[in-house]
Structures are given as structure tokens and as C-alpha cells.
Amino acid sequence: MDIKGARIVLIGGAGLVGSHIVDLLIQQPVSEIVVVDNLVRGSRNNLTSALRDPRVHLIEGSMLDSQLLQEVLRPGDGVYLLASLWLKECVEVPRQAWNTNVMGSWNVIEACQDRQVARIVYSSSASVYGNALEVPMTEDHPFNNRTTYGATKIACEQMLRAAHQQGGLPYVGLRYMNIYGPRMDYQGAYVSVMMKVLDRLFSGQPPIIHGDGSQTFDFIYVADVARANLLAMQATCCDEFFNIGCGRGTTLNELVSKLCELEGKPFHPHYEPLTSSFVTQRIGSIDKARDLLGFEATTPLPEGLENLLQWRKLAHSHC
């Protein structure tokens, strides 16, 4: 999609990933940027700088409001579908998870069909894969998921496939690995480890690691994820899903050790039992994203963690 002069709508655009996409979009020759967010997990503060641009508009509303979506979307729009309940919320309120993540997403897809938008970029998740059966996981890895959150993401992927097959709706889906960076909240089951570790370090307590710390994940900096989204909107391919990660694994011990080093604290973690709901290994192959989107993560983990640390210190000082 050519985004020059385009109108871009971000459903759930006030959250971690969405707000960073907005930051990139204001540097592009787009005509209008519309953020639709109910501000339950997203925050107006995440858009403080962006809202100074007269092209950026925030509409407080939910993707459960199908009439609102029909009113907001216009023919030719580029649409980012980011809104979702997270893993912890899906465990605690599964009915709400199905209603929000699946029916809410269907409302967006249906409105996009009705309004003949140009393209949808859908925020999926590596949770669809569950525990890795092979490393690195390609996009052909089986759906080994065992969580409600992952199941809702699989359902949305299938809805998009069907909408493309039956009505030609152009879309691509991005399966994120473990995203971290400034504006993180505490809702992600894995990424929140960073926030909780920093909070304990700031208060002079040892960090807590669930399990033995050998769990291995593919951590990717949020600005890289935002860039992947921009490339996905501009790409010519459709009806495709892509892993968005670094393609490299980092153990929780390595991660927490690096955070301790950056904060000048000794690495003496307190280990607690690992709950059965946690995935223990997830590293994605990035070959397809490199080949078809031209995407490759460029932020090294130490640099990204330093940025997160400085942002968290600033936020902590304002508490």
C-alpha cells in the first residue's frame, strides 16, 4: 500500500506498540492518523507528543462498538488492528477474552470489508505456537498453543484468512515475539518480568525468577516492532503471516543479569516455582520477514534494556 496521502486508522493505537507506530507515522507523508482506543490498557500519555501533530486524532471507543467502527473507517484506509486482552486477562475472564479478542476483531474485519479499506495489518502473537517443537520456529510451525489468549489469536488469523478468501480483504498478520521497551505496562505474562525486576531493584530487593531461569525467549525492542508494522502496511504481499523478532534467544537468567548490571546491582535472584501456564522456549525464524517485508531488528538487547531502564526510572520518579 502506498501510504503517501493515506488515512491510517489504529484500533488500539494508544498502547505500547500502537503509540510507537503513531510516532513513526507522523514522520511519513500520511494525511491523517486516527487512533481508536478505549484507554483501558492504552494511555493518552503514550500519545502526548504525537497529539501535537494536527493530523493525529484520538477517538475514545471500543472495537466492540460496531457502529463506531463503521463511522470511523473510510474507503482506502490503512488499518492497524492492535486491540486485544492479554494472556493474564484471558485466563481470569475467558468469556470476556472471546468476546473482545474474537468478536471485537470480527467487528473490525466486517467494518473493513463494508468500508472497502485498502489493507489491514493485524497484531497476532507467537503465542499461537505454544512451546517450540523446533528452534527457530518458522511460520509453518504447528499451532501448539494451550492458552485462551493464543486460541483467540488463532481464531482471528483464521477469520482474516476466510475474509481474504471469500471477499478479497487485503491483510497481513504479524506474530510478535516478546516485546519490550518504553511505555510497557504490567499485563504481559513474560515481558512484565522486566518491569517487576526493575521495581525490586529500585527498592533494594533481589529480583524474582520463576523457574530455574533457563527459559529462553526472543526479545524484540518496541521501536523495531513499530518499524515492522510500517513496512507491513507498505508491503505488496498479502494473506501472509510473519514472525517479528530478533531470531536470537535470551534466557531469563541472562536477561535479569543484564538488568542488574545496568542498574549496578549484584545478580542474586530469588527463584520461585514455575507455573504450568508459562512457555519455556520461544525463538522465531525471521527469514520470511526479511525476505518479503525487508524487516530485520536492529536494536541490540543491551541498548534496548538501557532505554527501558531510563524510561522506567523517569516514570518511577513521578510516582
| pLDDT tens-digit map of 244-276 | 999 999 999 999 999 999 999 999 999 999 876
Q: Say whether pLDDT at 14 is over 80.
A: yes
Using 50, 70 and 90 to split pLDDT, how confident is the model at 8?
very high
Query: Structural domains in the chain?
Result: 7-179+220-246+284-298 (3.40.50.720), 192-216+249-282+305-317 (3.90.25.10)
Other Cβ atoms closer than 10 A to 88: 15
Give the whole-angstrom CA distance, residue 193 versus residue 175: 20
Instruction: Give, in order, the Cα–Cα distances in Å from 19 to each of 37, 181, 194, 210, 263.
Output: 11, 12, 20, 30, 27
Using 50, 70 and 90 to split pLDDT, how confident is the model at 189?
low
Grid coordinates representing 138?
A: 518458522
Sign of the C-alpha dihedral, residues 167, 28, 34, 159?
A: positive
Task: Return the pLDDT at 265.
Answer: 94
The residue with greater pLDDT, 41 or 182, is: 182
The residue with greater pLDDT, 73 or 278, is: 73
Three-point CA angle 211, 217, 222, nearest 5°: 125
Task: Return the pLDDT at 226.
Answer: 98
Q: In what order do the strands lie in the sheet with 281-282?
A: 250-251, 216-217, 281-282
Task: Return the pLDDT at 87.
Answer: 82
Give the whole-angstrom CA distance, residue 80 versus residue 42: 15
**Using N-to-C axis directions, what is the helix angle for 105-115 and 148-167, rounded to 10°?**
20
Task: Return the pLDDT at 42.
Answer: 93
Give the whole-angstrom CA distance, residue 280 versus residue 130: 9
| Widest distance between CA atoms in the chain | 57
Three-point CA angle 41, 103, 77, nearest 5°: 75
Average pLDDT, the chain: 94
Task: Return the pLDDT at 126.
Answer: 96
Task: Return the pLDDT at 69.
Answer: 98
Percent of the chain with pLDDT over 70: 96
| pLDDT tens-digit map of 138-180 | 999 999 999 999 999 999 999 999 999 999 999 999 999 999 9
| pLDDT tens-digit map of 66-115 | 999 999 999 999 999 999 998 888 989 999 999 999 999 999 999 999 99
pTM assigned to the model: 0.96
